[in-house]
Chain A
Amino acid sequence: MLQSAIVFAIVAAATAYAVWRLFLRGWMKRRAAAKAAGCGPDCGCSD
């Protein structure tokens, strides 16, 4: 029982990390950069 709980906790953490790393991290970085530059993410200034 304890072993299953540890395994599922590890799998859940790995899933959360993969989702953050693949989908959220880049978006958060771009958003922070856009905010620092004083404009919104869709203003087109990143070009």
Chain B
Amino acid sequence: MTPPDLATAVAAAAGGAPAAPIRAALVGNPNSGKTAMFNALTGSRQKVANYAGVTVERKEGHLIAPDGRRISILDLPGTYSLRARSPDEVVTRDAVLGRLAGETPPDVVVLIADATNLRLVMRLALELRDVGRPAVLALNMIDIATRQGLEIDATRLAIELSMPVVTTVATRKRGIDELVIQIEAQAANSATAPADTWTEPSAAALRALHREAERILKACVLPPRRPDTFTGKLDSVLLHPVAGIGVLLVVLFLMFQAVFAWAAPLMDLSNAGFEALGAVMGNLMPDGLLKSLITDGIIAGVGSVVVFLPQIVILFLFIILLEDFGYMARAAFLLDKIMGGAGLHGRAFIPLLSSFACAIPGIMATRVIDNKRDRLTTILVAPLMTCSARIPVYTLIISAFIPRQQVWGVLSLQGLIFFGLYAAGLISALVVAWLVRKVFWRGAAEPFLMELPAYKIPDPMNVARNVLQRAQIFLQRAGTIILSMMILIWFLCTFPGAPAGAVGPAIDYSFAGMIGHAIQPVLAPIGFNWQMSVALIPGMAAREVAVGALGTVYAVAGADTSVLGASLAHQWSLASALAFLAWYVFAPQCASTLGVVKRETNSWRWPIIMFCYMTGLAYVASLIVYQTAVAMGAG
């Protein structure tokens, strides 16, 4: 029975009214397992990954203790000390000390420590001891520490730190019952806790704190008799300046090859499914507006987006496996020199990595960067990373225009182009960051220290949960915003009908036709026809909507869109298709991203700058690609 289940059962059996709720805050170093603990305690499914900085804002959940008492749990961003430097660390410090507006301090502070590396948490533990609020120390990942041969004297540690110590394995929900009991016991002391008098320590006080930490560690932790050589051996290859980069390129390359090779049968299957559904609905319904809306608008539009689910699942399966294994932080270490050369702060790796899923959490993750200029630079380039919403666009165009052939007998040409588009996004982000630092914000880059996480066998449940979450997000978008946009696009493509005596196709006289024809002259130099032009507008709601919009536009026009790619291959030139890809590498086709930039910078200035530079970049890149392709005979 899980703790919340157990608690509910006991509370029900007791039949009494529960006491006042307890507020507990989870604090600890980055990557010590706070979010895994939060999930284990509350039954939530917040994102957990094996690298530092995953949590950038406070999250709250709750559980019912065995005696029926409600405990609300606050998950806070990781920090090494109460002496906060970055915005996320300030949130943690203020929450712990009760300095957040409208909030009282937590009744209990739960300090989550990585048991394999207690040295890192000692300073924070001593600071919390001095603050004097009730606290519990959870020695998390104790299974790995035991396997490594570390011996920790928990009783002595509890005496030294003046707080109870429990051992836990959050990912396997071990030690959670004992932790809940200790939280309740400590909460009883909350009323008598001293008021907040914490101030920034002086240099002498910091040195004293470090000496005290060293003394406690020597007294309580016995290092392993046989030191761990596995991590060292693996790191000597994976972090090697030449071999490491080679491994990274091979890993990325295999990932993009797999996206195309493995997804193809599943994609064909779902294509056939939507085709059959369209045919069935077409046969069942009488001709008319409703039939057109269902088959041309909803099935052709939404279906053309949903078929890309296999690609998204496979790509995220790879990314999540690499994260959980502990490889992503190593990749950051390898790329740090290149990123630093471009003027990006080492901590920019986390936001940029998050942006491969979606730029919105990526931009929010820039809160881990303390320097305002470094943070703004990262915000400005984060949307250039290839987010998952671009995958349907890239896959559609590549499948339609790039032949399924092998290069050098082993590599798929389609996978190679896909890899190239990801590389184009990354390289352009580095170039833009370099330009921003050179032109606007000259100055030396700040030093960056990064903690490399231990290698771990990925937890199958965590991997499955995260992959399902990505699939769910994608399908949720397809069923909500994409569906609504498809209905609107169908309306714009269908009304007003062609006038009497019209000679061209009816869609030419529709609102969509009018809008497309009005914009098209501006986009003609980059090879866009009016259908492509009109698809860009709903594409501002979400990038993948453009694929659905093309499906609907061509379906209403009477083209066979059962396989949209084949239809596009007949209607577009190769030069136009390549220009469309170039546009999507750079264009700011996402209103939500611009909105979050406004929120994070508290100004309209930066989203406007972002929109202008990305649109300019997209236009120039598409122009160069289109005109070059035409000159080479692909027009």
Interface positions of A (Cβ within 8 A of B) = 3-4, 6-7, 10-11, 14-15, 17-18, 21-22, 26, 30, 36-39, 44-47
Contact = CB atoms under 8 A, between A and B. Distances in A.
A14 B487 CA distance: 7
Contacts of A39: 101
Contacts of A30: 599
Given A36-B102, A38-B102, A44-B602, A26 B595 contact: yes
A10 B480 contact: no
A22 to B, nearest CB: 6
A26 B595 CA distance: 8
Nearest to B480: A21
Interface residues of B, number: 22
B293 interface: yes
Contacts of B288: 3
A45 B484 contact: no
A17 B102 contact: no
B485 interface: yes
B203 interface: no
19 contacts: A3-B289, A4-B289, A7-B289, A10-B487, A11-B487, A14-B483, A14-B484, A14-B485, A17-B484, A18-B488, A21-B481, A26-B595, A37-B102, A38-B102, A45-B101, A46-B602, A47-B87, A47-B601, A47-B602
| Top 7 closest pairs, chain A to chain B, by CB | A14-B487, A14-B484, A18-B484, A38-B102, A7-B289, A47-B602, A17-B484
Given A14-B485, A38-B102, 5 more contacts: A7-B289, A14-B487, A18-B488, A18-B541, A45-B101
A26 B491 CA distance: 26
A30 B483 CA distance: 25
A18 B591 CA distance: 12
B427 interface: no
Interface in B282-312: 288-290, 293
A6 B484 contact: no
Nearest to B290: A3
Given A22-B541, A26-B595, A30-B599, A17 B480 contact: yes
B290 A7 contact: yes
A15 B480 CA distance: 12
B555 to A, nearest CB: 16
A39 B603 CA distance: 18
B485 A18 contact: yes
A47 B375 CA distance: 13
Interface of B: 87, 101-102, 288-290, 293, 480-481, 483-485, 487-488, 491, 541, 591-592, 595, 599, 601-602
Nearest to A39: B101
B507 to A, nearest CB: 17
Contacts of B595: 26
Contacts of A36: 102
A47 B487 CA distance: 37
A6 to B, nearest CB: 6
A38 B487 contact: no
Nearest to A44: B602
Nearest to B602: A47
B459 to A, nearest CB: 32
A15 B102 CA distance: 38
A11 B495 CA distance: 12
Contacts of A44: 602
A1 B592 CA distance: 38
B488 A15 contact: yes
B448 to A, nearest CB: 23
Contacts of A15: 484, 488
Contacts of A17: 480, 484
Contact of B101 (A3, A26, A38, A47): A38
B590 to A, nearest CB: 11
Contacts of B485: 14, 18
A7 B292 CA distance: 10
Given A26-B595, A46-B602, A21 B289 contact: no
Nearest to B595: A26
B74 to A, nearest CB: 15
Nearest to B285: A3
Contacts of B488: 11, 14-15, 18
Contacts of B480: 17, 21
Contact of A22 (B483, B591, B599, B602): B591
A10 B101 contact: no
A10 B599 contact: no
Contact of A46 (B102, B491, B599): B599
A7 B298 CA distance: 12
A18 B483 CA distance: 9
Nearest to A2: B290
A7 B481 CA distance: 18
Contacts of A37: 101-102
Nearest to B601: A47
A4 B494 CA distance: 12
B269 to A, nearest CB: 29
Nearest to B540: A22
Contact of A7 (B293, B592, B602): B293
A7 B495 CA distance: 12
A43 B52 CA distance: 31
